[in-house]
Chains A and B, each alone.
Chain A
Amino acid sequence: MATLVEIENLRKEFGSVRALDGVSLRVEEGDWIAIMGPSGSGKTTLINILGGLDSPTSGRAIVAGTDVARLDDAGLTRFRAEKVGFVFQQFHLVPYLTALENVMLAQYFHSITDEKEARHSLARVGLADRAEHLPSQLSGGEQQRVAVARALINHPKLILADEPTGNLDEANEQIVLDLLRELHHEGHTILMVTHAAAIGRLADRRIELAHGRLANVGATALKPEPV
């Protein structure tokens, strides 16, 4: 399998705080990686840099052949639209847009909108009948499924999920994890930040960060146990 993500000696400093301190890592296409570690260990910072939301202080972060560290603002904007799909813990849907429009918004910034495809994407996450609902009319689990549909709509190379089940109850957590598992089986590359060891065990590999450094890289079973 080809390498999709290659990180070399990545550092990120916020003033005197060192969020990432020389992280090196390689992710193959189709991998599902769980990034774990305590709060403040640099998990979200790593995801943000790989997603082009933040720039590293030094080091290289190559995603799908592009060194994110070398991109200017316009380059980062195109990178985010074309190469990655985000799923956030807080869902982050635009409150005055319907579920369908939230998905189409990603299409709009990528290239052109295709309502049929957006509806299909919502149907895939089981929300065909909720397309015209505003986020305030959806449950947390449904909102997160809209976010997953939005992340997938532009067929990104890499899906970055930051605590995707952190704000969900058990039932909705299971639905979202099933979705991620499905995506993984379809060959999508997923980098997922999580606190929960049980969720981490679903991934192919677990990476543990501590104080901005790679503490442990382990493999999990190829056929994960149900959570």
Chain B
Amino acid sequence: MMFWRLVFQLLRGNRGRLAVAILAIVSGATVVSALLNLDLGVQNKLTQEFRALGADVVISPATGASMQNSTAPPSLMREDAVLPSLQRLQSSEVAALAPYLYVVARAQATPVVVAGTWLDQAQNLEPTWKLEGNWISSREDDSQCLIGRAVARQFRLAPGRALKIEYMDRFVECTVAGIVDAGGTEDDQVFASLRAVQSLANLQGQIALVQISVSGAAKTVADYTARVANALPTGVQVRPIRQVTEAEGALLSRIQLLIISMVLLILILTALCVLGTMAALAMERRKDVGLMKSLGGSISRIVGIFLAEVGVLGAAGGLLGAAIGVALSYWMGLRVFGTGISPRWEIFPVTVALMIAVAMAGALPLRALGNVKPAVILRGE
């Protein structure tokens, strides 16, 4: 109790001098937490981007090529030429697989992109989609569909409402099971069963592409891609998407290295600032230390009080700086990336711990107080 009373009085009694140190700590903590939050935020954004891609492998007709014995238009593939091979290669590493056929149909006389797919695979293939309503559990269910957020807004639809989709002189009707918030082009699309869309477009047995989500590292994806490419006929292109993300990952590593270097530099500068203040304070406190020693205070107890004072400074400055830094990173995210970087709460303990460590490192001059001779100090020398 007395210990903290002494620490509090030290802080209060030296607030003018300590203002410089706390300013340095708050400034350092602000920049450090902003950079760390930015770093984690950018990682998060890239991860989201990676997940938003959903599939790791996309199978589509090769550009300018046509499949052997194919009756499909060049931009389409026959599903019986692709899907049976994929079923044979099905293994535990395949998290989800769905064929797609896209048509531009009309709803309420307005053009809308309709994707025909296996709707039971949507949840696993697109794990980042936010859904209002229900997923569809059967790929055979022609009566239900999912619609993008923008479509729902445009046609004022809600889960449970009916949607009529027309294509030339044909139409299908489905009940909206759920509204998809994907944060991308999917928000402008309608997702119906593959069979329904094939019937609508009169493209029975035709698909535009197949998306496959593969669990595991890049090598697993590469191996699977190679197996699929071997199994499928010519005229089909098998593309692993993760390569793109890995390139972004390499860029991320360089950004992280830059950010960590800057954080280290700022920590060193902050420690030097605190060091300067503490060196001056150590000189001023020689008399107090001499007196405390004359009262029977051991140097470890006396310096312990001063270190606690510095620790409180580091913690308070770190906490305040972290809060400002997180707000700053949000603002920087808006200015630089066009989207705010969400606060990561783990930044707070990390920044506080770093600032306490920096403040302690800056308090090294206080060690010199151990050499104070009370008799000399009390004589006024």
Q: Is the CB of B12 within 8 A of A96?
A: yes
B297 contacts which chain A residues (CB < 8 A)? 77, 81, 105, 108-109
* Chain B residues within an 8 Å CB radius of A98: 9
**Considering the chains assembled together, what is the distance between the CA atoms of A167 and B71 in angstroms?**
113
Confirm or deny: A26 has a beta carbon within 8 angstroms of a beta carbon on chain B: no
Q: Is the CB of B375 within 8 A of A105?
A: no
Which of A61-69, A85-93, A182-190, A214-222 contacts its partner?
A85-93
Which residues of B1-21 have CB atoms within 8 Å of chain A's CB atoms?
1-3, 5-6, 9-10, 12-14
In the assembled complex, which residues on chain A have CB atoms less than 8 Å from the CB atom of B2?
A: 104-105, 107-108, 113
Q: Mark B268-297, 1 if CB is under 8 A from A, else 0.
A: 000000000000000000011001111111
Judge if A48 is at the interface, Cβ distance under 8 Å: yes
In the complex, are the beta carbons of B292 and A109 less than 8 A apart?
yes
Assess whether B301 is interfacial by the CB under 8 Å rule.
Answer: yes
**A53-B298 in contact (CB<8A):** no
Q: Which residues of A contact B265 (CB under 8 A)?
A: none
- Which A residues are in CB contact (< 8 Å) with B294? 51, 53, 80, 86, 92
A97: Cβ under 8 A from any B Cβ: yes
Chain A CB within 8 A of B74 CB? no
Query: Considering the complex, which residues of chain B in the window 227-242 have a beta carbon less than 8 Å from any beta carbon of chain A?
Result: none
In the bound complex, residues from chain B placing their C-beta under 8 Å from that of A113 are: 1-2
Contact call B296/A97, Cβ cutoff below 8 A: no
**Counting chain B CB atoms within 10 Å of each CB, which of A54, A92, A98 scores highest?**
A92
B264 within 8 A of A: no
Is A110 located at the chain interface by the 8 A CB criterion? Answer: yes
Chain A at the B interface: SS class: helix
Q: Distance (Å) between the CB of B367 and the closest chain A CB?
A: 15
Most A-side CB within 10 Å, residue of B13, B291, B292: B291
Whole-angstrom distance from the CB of A41 to the nearest CB of chain B? 15
Q: Does A101 reach chain B (CB closer than 8 Å)?
A: yes
- Minimum distance in angstroms from A118 CB to a CB of chain B: 10
The chain B residue sitting closest to A110, CB to CB, is: B296
- Secondary structure type dominating chain B contacts: helix
Name the A residues within 8 Å of B338 (CB-CB). Answer: none
Taking the complex as formed, is A40 at the interface, i.e. its CB lies under 8 A from any CB of chain B?
Answer: no
Interface status of B378 (Cβ within 8 A of chain A): yes
- A148, CB-defined interface residue at 8 Å: no
The answer to whether A101 touches B6, judged by C-beta atoms less than 8 angstroms apart, is: yes
Q: Is A82 interfacial (CB-CB < 8 Å)? A: yes
B375 engages A77 (CB within 8 Å) = no
Contact B296 A109 (CB under 8 A): yes
Which residue of the partner chain A has the closest CB to B285? Answer: A94
Q: How far is the CB of B293 from chain A (nearest CB, A)?
A: 7
B296 and A81: CB pair below 8 A?
A: yes
Q: Is the CB of A80 within 8 A of B296?
A: yes
Q: In the complex, are the beta carbons of B5 and A80 less than 8 A apart? A: no
B296 and A82 within 8 A (CB)? yes
CB distance from A111 to the nearest CB of B (A): 10
A92 touches B6 (CB 8 A): no
Whether, in the assembled complex, A17 has its beta carbon less than 8 Å from a beta carbon of chain B, the answer is no
Q: Which residues of A contact B9 (CB under 8 A)?
A: 96-98, 101
> Bound state CA distance, A113 and B291, in angstroms?
18
Which residues from chain A contact B375 at a C-beta distance below 8 Å?
A: 48, 53-54
* Interface pairs (18), CB distance under 8 Å: A44-B379, A51-B294, A53-B378, A74-B298, A77-B293, A77-B296, A79-B296, A80-B296, A86-B295, A92-B294, A94-B288, A96-B9, A97-B6, A101-B6, A105-B292, A106-B295, A109-B292, A113-B2
**A residues within 8 Å of B by Cβ?**
44, 48, 51, 53-54, 74, 77-82, 86, 88, 90, 92, 94-98, 101, 104-110, 113, 150
Other than the given A96-B9, A96-B14, A105-B2, 8 more pairs (CB < 8 A) read A53-B294, A78-B296, A92-B291, A92-B378, A97-B13, A98-B9, A107-B2, A150-B295
List of 6 A-B pairs having minimum Cβ-Cβ separation, nearest first? A81-B296, A96-B13, A53-B375, A109-B297, A54-B375, A80-B296
